[in-house]
Amino acid sequence: MINKVKESSEVFIKETTEKVEQKTKETISVIQEKKKEYDEKKNTPLEETKEEFKEKVSEVVEDVKEELEEAKEKVSEVIEDITEKTEELIEEVKEELEEAKEKVVEVVEEVKEKFESDTKENIDSILLEDSNLPAGAVKALKAEGYKTLEEVKAKTDEELSKIKGVGKVALEKLRN
């Protein structure tokens, strides 16, 4: 979209430059014609020639003023178009950023859930001897046939407290 605006600006500048060049050529041509007329009319009174020249110059000046006014209007239109297009682009970018933000939040949540799930699975599959349980509790639990934290966590505190060697400290560590 920015390229279109840039392209239309370049076209406008080129057209305006061509018009100014054309007007300049026309002005030079008029001046040359007037000089030629002046040279041909050397026998006419000087005041009359000056007046004719002033009139022609005034006409050329008015034409140039009109062209400049048109150019100013076109420049204003281009600036308005650029401003409008820029505002539209800003809105589009805002919307795209919001969508991207939502997607990032969604992905982060998925990763977080997966991490928490994987972490829980990994913790639960830890062998008793690799856990942070007191050595006496580990020995007692292994003697009862338990091998992983997952197996132990599946039991209630009441069931576990019946095992000799599993005390309050071991139960707290299991539940935290």
Q: Closest by alpha carbon to 174, among 142, 143, 128, 140? A: 128
Residues 6+ apart with CB under 8 A from 170: 133, 134, 137, 160
In the chain, the percentage of residues whose pLDDT exceeds 90 is 10
Q: Where do runs of H (alpha helix) occur along the chain? A: 2-40, 46-124, 135-143, 149-153, 157-161, 168-175
User: Where are the domains positioned within the chain?
Assistant: 2-98, 126-175
DSSP class of residue 148? B
Q: CB-hemisphere CA count at 13 Å for 94?
A: 6
- Per-residue pLDDT reduced to its tens digit, 130-167: 888 899 998 999 999 989 888 888 888 889 888 999 88
pLDDT one-digit tens code per residue, 77-97: 888 888 888 888 888 888 989
Domain covering 126-175 in this structure, CATH number: 1.10.150
Where does the pLDDT of residue 120 fall: very low under 50, low under 70, confident under 90, or very high at 90 and above?
Answer: low
Pair 163, 140: CB distance under 8 Å: yes
Task: Report pLDDT digits (tens) over 69-80.
Answer: 888 888 888 888
Half-sphere exposure of 168 (CA within 13 A, CB side): 0
This prediction's pTM: 0.38
Query: What is the per-residue pLDDT for 119?
Result: 57
Could you tell me the pLDDT band of residue 102, with boundaries at 50, 70 and 90? very high
Whether residue 47 has pLDDT greater than 70:
no
d(CA 17, CA 141): 93
